[in-house]
Structure 1
Amino acid sequence: MLTATAHSAELIATEIVVRAKARDGKFIGSSVGGAWVRIKDADSGKLLAEGLTEGGTGNTELIMSTPRERYKPIADAGTAAFKASLPLERPQLLTIEVLAPYIKRQARTLSQTQTWLVPGKPISGDGLVVEIPGMIVDLQSPGTHGYIPLAQAPYEIRANVVMMCGCIITPGGIWDGQKLEVSALINKDGRPYQSVPLQMGSTMNSFAAKFQPDSPGNYHVTVYAYDPKTGNTGVDQTAFVVTK
């Protein structure tokens, strides 16, 4: 007669490396506050590990200009990553959530994927690379809830735009500001009012335009940056009051 023998499965520490990569950009690391990674059990939702990606954005030439060959890594030892070692007794389906860039709330995007992790079979090297769409748009002027006399018009609308990895945007550069569409959509007293294109300035990442209101009111400004080649888009908003 055969009898079942009780035994406890051995827990095997298994590494997983997670990286956040900006769409049409480099890796999201310490220079923009990192990406927050959450690793969960896919069935129960139990949190298994979490933390920030840390490190650099990676090698620009390798990531952006070198033709990609199968199995050739695009990350090196200094490239931003989050690493965890999970004690596994059986293959486990994981849900990976990535919030990035973590410190820029108005630009922060949640990207999610799933993967199996098998005991003793690490996901290392480049690891699990999660793409983060978007751009970081910081609307710098007008200031939020400012009260501005009509007599001081025209006002400057000014925004700072960078890739999600923090990579700079310049005229004619790798990330060419002259090929981006950056514009302000302006509402007055809750209704569409004007659309004002912003132009790339001489300062990196900087876009600006003049805005001339015709009367006092409550104004809401939405500035977007859009890359027509990739569809990559970022947005920021503000509101201010024009007084008599």
Structure 2
Amino acid sequence: MKLRLSFFSLLFSLLFSFGSLTAQETTVMVRALAKDAKFIGSSIGGAKIIVSNAETGEILDQGFTSGSTGDTKLILKTPQKRYDNLTDEKTAGFQATLNIEEPTFIKVEAQAPFNKKQARVVSSTQLWVIPGKNITGDGVVLEVPGFVVDILSPQTHERIKSSSEVSLKANIVMMCGCPVTEGGIWDANQYEVKAILDAEGKESMEIALKPTEKASTFQAEANLDKGYYTITVYAFDPITGNTGVDKTNIIIN
């Protein structure tokens, strides 16, 4: 009888211990890293992070990355060895808290930069998470390619006389918001920035925009005949393949 009671006591103890382990809260640090640049954080509105069960689609946690873009020297200029961290306590990230009771295959998605709809892209990955086994440090790092391109001029649906010169101006930054300047870390002279002008019944035109004295600002002038025009401005880095696009429409009368 005593042996039987001892057995059940041991079994109960094991089950209780196992249950307490599976009930542990599990955290996963998630970061969004702009391709050829720095981390996407508070300065550009952050990246929206969604962590879900990869098999059922259930959202386990979601939120926005916050914090700084990180240490430029560490991220871009320091040779990286195995296990070296790219981040510190101030670097932008989102700490997801998962309530899981068993090993779970998850999908981690970043929509970034979230506040710049024309530039926003989705980057994602999948991985296993074990209850109570936190993923910390750099955590899960999702690369986000591209440029943020904003057409500053002409304004949407602006009416311009055909006798007037049209000013084409665009602001171009990395996906983390880092500036593009001549001779800078992100060298404006390295990038191809052009405006494509299309109007019904007219041959498409392509005009190169040049860097100005103001950081991240590119400009050109054009003379256009009467018509309804779609203007597409793109930035392209022939070294990394980073590409960004913005569009607007104007009326030449």
- State if a TM-score over 0.5 links the two structures: yes
Write the distance in 1 (CA, Å) between the matches of 2:99 and 2:139.
18
1:57 equivalent among 55, 63, 69: 69
User: What TM-score do you get using the length of structure 1 for normalisation?
Assistant: 0.94
Deviations 1:92-119 (CA, angstroms, capped at 9, x unpaired): 0001111000111111111111111111
Give the 3 Å change call, closer, same or farther, for CA 88–225 of structure 1 in structure 2: same
What do residues 107-140 of structure 1 show as CA deviations (whole Å, max 9, x unaligned)?
A: 1111111111111211110000000011000001
Q: What per-residue deviation string (whole Å, max 9, x for no partner) do you get for residues 12-67 of structure 1?
A: 11110000000000000000000000000001000110000000000000001001
Equivalent-residue separation in structure 2 for 1:175 and 1:159 (angstroms):
16
1:172 aligns with 2:168: no
Aligned counterpart, 1:237: 247
Query: Per the alignment, do residues 48 and 190 of structure 1 end up closer, same or farther by CA in structure 2, a change over 3 Å counting?
Result: farther
Match of 1:188 among 178, 199, 203: 199
1:88 Cα deviation after fit: 2.0
Match of 1:226 in 2: 236
Please give the alpha-carbon distance, in whole angstroms, between the structure 1 residues aligned to 2:29 and 2:148. 25
Report the RMSD for the aligned CA atoms in angstroms.
1.6
Q: Which residue of the partner structure matches residue 35 of structure 2? A: 23
Paired residues for 1:54-93 under 5 Å: 54-93=66-105
Secondary structure of 2:189's aligned partner: helix
Match of 1:216 in 2: 226
Deviations 1:165-211 (A, max 9, x none): 01111000000001100000110127542000000111100000011
Which residue type is aligned with residue 43 of structure 1? E
Counterpart mapping for 1:26-41 below 5 A:
26-41=38-53
Q: CA deviation at 1:84?
A: 1.6
Residue ranges of structure 2 left out of the alignment (5+ in a row): 1-10
Counterpart Cα distance in 2 of 1:83 and 1:197: 42
Give the letter for the 2:41 counterpart.
G
Instruction: Between 160-169 and 192-201, report the one with greater CA deviation.
Output: 192-201
TM normalised by structure 2 equals: 0.91
Higher helix fraction (1 or 2) = 2
Would the alpha carbon gap of residues 119 and 192 (structure 1) be closer, same or farther in structure 2, given more than 3 Å must change? Answer: farther
Letter in 1 for 2:239: K
Higher-Rg member (1/2): 2
Percent of pairs identical after alignment?
A: 44
Q: Is the 8 A contact 2:195 2:206 kept in 1?
A: yes
SS for the counterpart of 1:151 is coil
1:201 aligns with 2:202: no
SS of equivalent residue, structure 1 residue 12 = coil
Aligned mates of 1:80, 1:180 — CA distance in 2: 27
Q: Counterpart amino acid of 1:60?
A: T
Match among 11, 24, 29 for residue 12 of structure 1: 24
Kept in 1, the 8 Å contact 2:60–2:99? The answer is: no
- Which segments of structure 1 move beyond 4 Å, counting only runs of 4 or more? none
